[in-house]
Amino acid sequence: MEKILVVEDNLFEAKIIVSVLKGKGYEASLASDGVTGIRELENNSYDLVLTDLIMPDLDGMGVLNHVVNKCPKTKCIILTGHATIKSSVEAIKQGAFDYITKPIASTELLLVVEKALQFKNLEEENIRLKRELKKRYSRTNIIGTSKAMENVFGLIEKVADTDITVLIQGPSGTGKELIARAIHYDSDRGEKPLVVINCGAIPEALLESELFGHEKGSFTGAHKSRVGRFEMANGGTIFLDEIGEMSPALQVKLLRVLQDQRFERVGGTKTIHVDVRIIAATNKNLTVAINNNTFREDLYYRLNVIMIKAPPLKQRKSDIPLLVNYFMKKFQKKDKETITGFSPDAMNAMLEFVWPGNVRELENVIRQLVVLCENPIVEFEDLPEHIQQTEISVTRSEAAQFLEEGLSLDNAVKVYERKLIIEAMEKSNGIKAKAAKLLNIKRTTLVEKMKKQNFSKSVCA
């Protein structure tokens, strides 16, 4: 139940207000002067204070002052006679939510009280959501312990609390957007907006007005003037995704913003200044784009103050089991048995697969398995066919080669045996006992096979 304090020295009026509020289900108490009011506010927490303006000793402005400075979560409404409306306007400037003129009509009173409480709830919800976003997108929620990812985390930590422009480069689905969000939410700007714009998804003709806004009538269809993304991001961060897709004409304009944080709206003459941190991402190699004259070199150097490379999944296989676990938990359905793990064969196939779509593709595979897989442990056969194919395809391409070369089965087996021995010897640094163990044969059998295969001294050493 919301708690309201009424500070009013006219007890007759005060009692009516309190009873109207109680009638509506609020928990309302009364303080008969400013000093008592403040004492009450020091001892209890209130959602809302209604205060008269003119009171002996400490007036309504004094109460308001205390609320604004000492109880910032509490809202304050001023009760005023006609003679003090001017002061009430002043009170709003100082942080009061609204004022109500006397004589007080109960419908108006309840309306304003409800509005103030709603506003307070929205404010709290907003703070809660911001905190949740910060928690969700902090770098601690990016999964990975591989060296490559450790490197990424180190860079995020170093750049977060600066205003340095960052360029994130990496193939599709490697977590570029996640990295950009982590930089923003781990920075001082984390409470301010993060504005994301995908430069590749918006037609060139519209992108300029999206970024910089436009004035009314600046082009056909511009019925109203409009604020652009750079203005929306003021104080916070703008994330320019797929920057490699931006047209050369817009690249020039962006360069100017990077140089002195100034621009004009489309069709406007007023120069707008913004305080925005810029993070850009691309899955293209921009140096190639520079050579092809599709990307400006000067812009590249402005963007690439710090480059973070999002590594492809195939270069950080050790992260695969972690990501698998993470996504299994993420997609687990409440009160429904779903997958809890992978058989060694299945996990092996996941590790061997090349993952052209990187983490996003892995995420989708797990999402699919959670729905489709019947058993708690995912077996090799449960995996999507293209992932099962990887192992087979290695063997098949080799077999195809053998057939093409016209090798007999005996010879092909010999060639394959030789390859396995070389691999095992390399893995065990030439120590035969170890290599034999890897091949699951006796050491003497290995020596015999190597003799038969005419292994050179260098391999046998």
Rounded Cα distance between 104 and 13, Å, is 9
**311 scored as a contact of ligand ATP (CB under 6 A):** no
Rounded Cα distance between 95 and 101, Å, is 18
Nearer to Mg ion, 63 or 233 (CB): 233
Nearer to ligand ATP, 94 or 141 (CB): 141
52, interface contact from Mg ion, ligand ATP, none, CB < 5-8 Å by kind: none
Report whether 322 contacts 169 (CB < 8 A).
no
Burial of 346 (0-12, 13-18, 19+ CB in 10 A): buried
Tokens of 153: 């985390």
Rounded Cα distance between 115 and 447, Å, is 88
Residue 361's closest CA among 78, 153, 172?
172
Rounded Cα distance between 144 and 148, Å, is 9
Give the contact letters, 223-242, x = binds to ligand ATP (CB under 6 A), - = no.
--------------------
359, interface contact from Mg ion, ligand ATP, none, CB < 5-8 Å by kind: ligand ATP
**245 scored as a contact of ligand ATP (CB under 6 A):** no
85, interface contact from Mg ion, ligand ATP, none, CB < 5-8 Å by kind: none
**324 scored as a contact of ligand ATP (CB under 6 A):** no
- What are the helix (H) ranges across 81-219? 85-93, 106-137, 147-160, 176-185, 204-212
**133 scored as a contact of ligand ATP (CB under 6 A):** no
CA 409 from centre of chain: 56
**148 scored as a contact of ligand ATP (CB under 6 A):** no
173, interface contact from Mg ion, ligand ATP, none, CB < 5-8 Å by kind: ligand ATP
Nearer to ligand ATP, 271 or 285 (CB): 285
- Determine the interface stretch with ligand ATP among 37-45, 127-135, 140-148, 452-460 (rule: CB under 6 A): 140-148
Residue 169's closest CA among 271, 283, 330, 31?
283
Give the contact letters, 348-367, x = binds to ligand ATP (CB under 6 A), - = no.
-----------xx--x----
Q: How many residues bind ligand ATP (CB under 6 A)?
A: 16
Rounded Cα distance between 389 and 410, Å, is 26
**283 scored as a contact of ligand ATP (CB under 6 A):** yes
Nearer to ligand ATP, 31 or 281 (CB): 281
Nearer to ligand ATP, 309 or 414 (CB): 309
SS3 441: coil
Q: State in angstroms the smallest separation of the CB of 299 from ligand ATP.
A: 20
**167 beta partners:** 280, 307
**5 beta partners:** 29, 49
Nearer to ligand ATP, 314 or 360 (CB): 360
**310 scored as a contact of ligand ATP (CB under 6 A):** yes
**214 scored as a contact of ligand ATP (CB under 6 A):** no
Q: What is the DSSP string of 324-344?
A: HHHHHHHHPPTTS----EE-H
Q: State in angstroms the smallest separation of the CB of 254 from Mg ion.
A: 18
367, interface contact from Mg ion, ligand ATP, none, CB < 5-8 Å by kind: none
SS3 28: strand
Q: How many alpha carbons lie under 13 Å from residue 101 in its C-beta half-sphere?
A: 8
* Binding footprint of Mg ion on the chain (CB under 5 A): 176-177
**162 scored as a contact of ligand ATP (CB under 6 A):** no
Chain residues binding ligand ATP by CB under 6 A are 142-144, 170, 172-178, 283, 310, 359-360, 363
